[in-house]
C-alpha cells in the first residue's frame, strides 16, 4: 500500500517511518499530481493555519476532497485532524470540511501543553502510546462518526468511514499500531474497488 504524507509543513519524516514499520510504502507529497498513485493519505501535525494556507496555495483543498470522494482513506493527526474537520470552534472558516465534527484548537490549556499517555483505542488490543502537543479536542460529532477513544471524557480519536483522526501524535513513538490500523483501512478500500 502506498501511503502519502502531505509534506507542506509538520511532522512528515516521523509518519513516513511509522508507515514503513507498519509494512506500507510511504511517499512524501508536495504536489497534487502525486496524489494519483496513492492508496491513502496522512495529514500530519504542525500548525493547522499554516498547513491550510499552503493547501489553498497549492490546490490541495479540491484535490484532497476529490481523493476522499473516491473513497480513499485519509488520516489526520493533531493539526491534520483540525484540517479534516467541518467545523472549528471560534473560527468562521474550516479547511477540508470532510469529517462531520466540531474541533477546538489548543484545547488542553497551558499546564498541559504537552504530555504522553497510554490510550485505549477501539479496534486495537492494548493501549497505544500517544503524545499530545498543543492538541485539539473533538467537541462534537455527528452520528456517522464513530468515537474510537476518549481521554478524560473528551474525544481524541474518531473515524467516519474512510476518514480517521487523532488529537495526538502517534508517529512520535515507535508504537506504530495506529498506522497499521490505517493501513488496514487502505487495504479494505483498495479491495472494495476491485
Question: Which residues line the annotated binding site?
Answer: 46-48, 105, 133-134
Cite the active site residues: 78, 169, 171
Give me the residue label for grid cell 452520528.
143
From its phi and psi, is residue 177 left (phi > 0), alpha (psi between -120 and 50) or beta?
Answer: alpha
Binding site for ligand GLN (CB under 6 A): 45-48, 78-79, 82, 105-106, 133-134
C-alpha cell at 141: 460529532
Q: How far is the CB of 172 from ligand GLN (least distance, A)?
A: 9
7/82 with CB nearer ligand GLN: 82
Q: How far is the CB of 60 from ligand GLN (least distance, A)?
A: 16
* Centroid of chain to Cα 27: 16
Q: Give the β-pairing of 2-6 and 154-160.
A: unpaired
C-alpha cell at 50: 499554516
Q: What is the DSSP string of 113-180?
A: SEEEEEE--TTSSSPEEEEEES--EEEEE-TTSEEEEEETTEEEEEEETTEEEESSBGGGSS--HHHH
Q: How far is the CB of 168 from ligand GLN (least distance, A)?
A: 8
Amino acid at each position: 500500500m502506498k501511503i502519502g504524507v502531505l509534506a507542506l509543513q509538520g511532522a512528515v519524516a516521523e509518519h513516513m517511518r511509522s508507515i514503513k514499520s507498519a509494512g506500507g510504502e510511504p511517499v512524501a507529497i508536495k504536489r497534487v499530481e502525486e496524489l494519483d498513485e496513492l492508496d491513502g493519505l496522512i495529514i500530519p501535525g504542525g500548525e493547522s493555519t499554516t498547513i491550510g494556507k499552503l493547501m489553498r496555495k497549492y490546490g490541495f483543498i479540491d484535490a484532497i476532497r476529490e481523493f476522499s470522494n473516491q473513497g480513499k482513506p485519509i488520516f489526520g493527526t493533531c493539526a491534520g485532524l483540525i484540517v479534516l474537520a467541518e467545523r472549528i470552534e471560534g473560527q468562521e472558516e474550516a479547511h477540508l470540511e470532510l469529517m462531520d465534527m466540531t474541533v477546538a484548537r489548543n484545547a488542553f490549556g497551558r499546564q498541559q501543553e504537552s504530555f504522553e499517555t497510554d490510550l485505549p483505542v477501539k479496534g486495537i488490543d492494548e493501549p497505544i502510546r500517544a503524545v499530545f502537543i498543543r492538541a485539539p479536542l473533538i467537541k462534537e460529532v455527528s452520528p456517522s462518526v464513530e468515537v474510537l477513544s476518549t481521554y478524560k471524557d473528551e474525544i481524541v480519536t474518531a473515524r467516519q468511514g474512510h476518514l480517521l483522526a487523532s488529537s495526538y501524535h502517534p508517529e512520535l513513538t515507535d508504537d506504530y499500531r495506529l498506522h497499521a490500523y490505517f493501513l488496514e483501512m487502505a487495504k479494505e478500500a483498495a479491495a472494495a474497488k476491485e
